[in-house]
A = this chain, B = another copy of it.
Amino acid sequence: MNIMDETPECAELFRAQQHSETPDSEVNATSAMMAAARATCWRRNQACDPVIARGAVACVLAGAVRKFALRSNGQRQIIEVNLTGDFLGFAPANPAFFLEAVSNDTRIASFTREQIDTLTARFPDVAALMRNCAADTIRRLEHHLLVQSRITASEKVGAYLATMTRRMRPSGTKAIVLPITRYDIADHLGIAVETVSRTMSALRRRGSIVLRTPRDIEIRDPSMLFDI
């Protein structure tokens, strides 16, 4: 068991609740949340900061959202990538950070601060959901901090692929379609695009992965993703 493992996604509890049967209290909580939610749709590369404006909280229903900062020298640092089912907005908006939709048809449900307060006051389940999703965010950040620091570029890319395989859970298939470009991966891992590309090629050459297309990757040997 590697310290890089373990980043559960509790937020998809919300998604799950939308479709499955749950105890009475939860059904009420879920329907109340769904009634309050304001869903919006965003295009690729479109700024979607409004979804968490003024303390709002939001849930990614489809697509993905990237949160990033721009350095004074123009470099972009992607702090976090939120996939379908993730909640965001737990840290009050910092003007230095930006939110963008990663793909077309990125759908996001948002809740105002007041709506969340009302819901949490009425439904303990919603309060627990919020707590768990904030904890998820912390865990994702801590995990990413581990990946960012010290380890080699190969390990970063390997850890990224492993994390994506887990988070997108195709549950069975060993193939994933990367949600973001090489440039995004580079800015997320804090390395150069060329290095990302070179590392992918190295993994391909040694048979750990198969690049069906640059984005569509088949994991041949998951164990080789960690400590190349």
Q: Which A residues have a C-beta under 8 Å from some C-beta of B? A: 2-3, 5-6, 69-72, 75, 77, 79-80, 90-92, 94, 96-97, 120, 127, 131, 134-135, 137-139, 141-142, 144-146, 148-151, 189-190, 227
CA separation between A43 and B181, bound complex, in Å?
Answer: 48
Closest 8 A/B residue pairs (Cβ): A149-B190, A141-B141, A3-B96, A91-B138, A150-B190, A148-B148, A91-B135, A134-B134
CB within 8 A of A91: which of B72, B79, B97, B139? B139
A120: which B residues are within 8 A, CB to CB?
127
Q: B145–A227 contact, CB under 8 A? A: no
CB nearest to A186 among chain B residues: B150
Q: Is the CB of A69 within 8 A of B146?
A: yes
Residues in B with CB closer than 8 Å to A134 are 90, 131, 134-135, 138
Number of copies: 2
- Closest Cβ of chain B to A25, distance in Å, is 15
B146 touches A77 (CB 8 A): yes
A80→B141 CA distance, assembly (Å)? 11
Residues of B with C-beta under 8 A to A71: 3, 150-151
A149 contacts across to B, CB distance below 8 A: 77, 148, 189-190
Closest CB-CB distance, A129 to chain B, in whole Å?
Answer: 13
Interface centre among A127, A131, A146, A149 (most CB of B within 10 A): A149
- Are A90 and B135 within 8 A (Cβ)? yes
